[in-house]
């Protein structure tokens, strides 16, 4: 069993995976002074029994690194997993400076398509792997090289985002895509082979500018697409797919078990009509809205 949590942090992304193995993973950081202590305290509590804790950063836009300095001070990041990059900003926040220090220091592990690392996707006699694999970037791709150069010159780093897949044996396959933009995804289509996916976190917080190409969606066949907290006027609602909209749902908790995922939201009134009702009890941090068969 594992738990995936998507925090409702307004216009930003922050997730954790409490793995069934001896691993704990945080993906991105978006905290404010109002919620940072509560979020850090929760992560500290949920990860306390895990031997390996990793922090994965998709890219250094502020809505994906806000509160990073506080997070590192409180939880001491031992390993930051990020693409190799030299992104710069015209205006450097304290969190961006913290990101650069981590990115350029000896705590960084650079991720790329097909990379392996103990215990990200390599197990041994000591502990099992986390089930995380990196599907992108191909560092030789010309469009990716151009995205790196643009980020180095102070432009948006959206398209240096990796594609991260999490798989739990006999349970869900889950995908994160950072803030990849539609035009970029179309450009790299010939270099991609998308896997079957049960749960997709829509890139760029569900914005139209990050709409996943139909050809990719057809390959992945997601049972559920989670739409982030972009302004409602900018959102693509992925008509024809089962969705959860975080603007309305609040925090979302995915309790992954064999062949099923029980789903909870922090907003008591949120509901959908496509999940099975297995009459699970509410959690302290969420109300049961149904179960996805995988």
Q: Name which of 62, 59, 58, 48 is nearest 9 in CA terms.
A: 62
State pLDDT tens for residues 35-49. 999 999 999 999 999
Which tens digit of pLDDT belongs to each residue from 149-161? 999 999 999 999 9
Residue 204 pLDDT greater than 90, yes or no = yes
Domain chopping of the chain, boundaries: 2-293
Strand partners, 109: 81
**Extended beta strands in the chain, E state:** 2-6, 15-18, 23-27, 29-30, 52-56, 66, 80-82, 108-110, 132-136, 163-167, 173-176, 199-201, 224-227, 243-245, 252-257, 260-265, 287-293
pTM over the 0.75 mark: yes
58-99 pLDDT per residue, tens: 999 999 999 999 999 999 999 999 999 999 999 999 999 999
Architecture label for domain 2-293: 4-Layer Sandwich (3.60)
Q: pLDDT band for position 103 (50/70/90)?
A: very high
Which segments of the chain does DSSP mark as H helices, in order? 36-47, 62-65, 68-75, 94-103, 142-152, 182-187, 214-220, 246-249
Q: What is the pLDDT of residue 232?
A: 87
- Per-residue model confidence as pLDDT tens digits over 13-23: 999 999 999 99
- Name the pLDDT band for 56 (thresholds 50, 70, 90): very high
Whole-angstrom Cα distance, residue 265 to residue 279? Answer: 15
Asked if pLDDT for residue 1 goes beyond 90, the answer is no
Mean pLDDT of the chain: 97
pLDDT for 135 beyond 90:
yes
């Amino acid at each position: 069993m594992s738990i995936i949590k998507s925090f409702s942090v307004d216009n930003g992304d922050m997730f954790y995976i409490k793995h069934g193995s001896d691993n704990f993973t945080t993906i991105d950081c978006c905290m404010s002074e109002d919620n940072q202590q509560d979020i850090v305290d929760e992560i500290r509590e949920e990860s306390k029994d895990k031997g390996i804790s990793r922090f994965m950063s998709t890219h250094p836009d502020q809505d994906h690194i806000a509160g990073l300095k506080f997070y590192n001070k409180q939880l001491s990041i031992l390993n930051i997993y990020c693409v190799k990059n030299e992104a710069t900003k015209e205006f450097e926040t304290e969190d961006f400076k913290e990101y650069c220090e981590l990115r350029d220091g000896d705590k960084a592990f650079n991720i790329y398509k097909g990379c392996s690392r103990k215990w990200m996707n390599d197990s041994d006699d000591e502990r099992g792997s986390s089930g995380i694999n990196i599907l992108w970037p191909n560092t030789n791709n010309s469009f990716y090289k151009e995205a790196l150069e643009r980020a180095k010159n102070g432009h948006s780093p959206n398209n240096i985002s990796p594609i991260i897949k999490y798989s739990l044996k006999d349970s869900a396959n889950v995908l994160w895509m950072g803030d990849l933009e539609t035009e970029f995804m179309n450009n790299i289509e010939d270099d991609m082979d998308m896997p079957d996916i049960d749960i997709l976190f829509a890139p760029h917080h569900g914005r139209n500018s990050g709409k996943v190409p139909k050809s990719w969606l057809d390959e992945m066949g997601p049972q559920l697409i989670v739409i982030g907290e972009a302004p409602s006027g900018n959102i693509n609602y992925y008509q024809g797919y089962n969705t959860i909209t975080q603007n309305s749902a609040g925090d979302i908790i995915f309790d992954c078990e064999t062949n099923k995922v029980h789903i909870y939201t922090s907003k008591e009134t949120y509901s959908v009509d496509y999940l099975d009702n297995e009459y699970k009890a509410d959690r302290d941090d969420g109300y049961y809205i149904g179960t996805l068969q995988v």
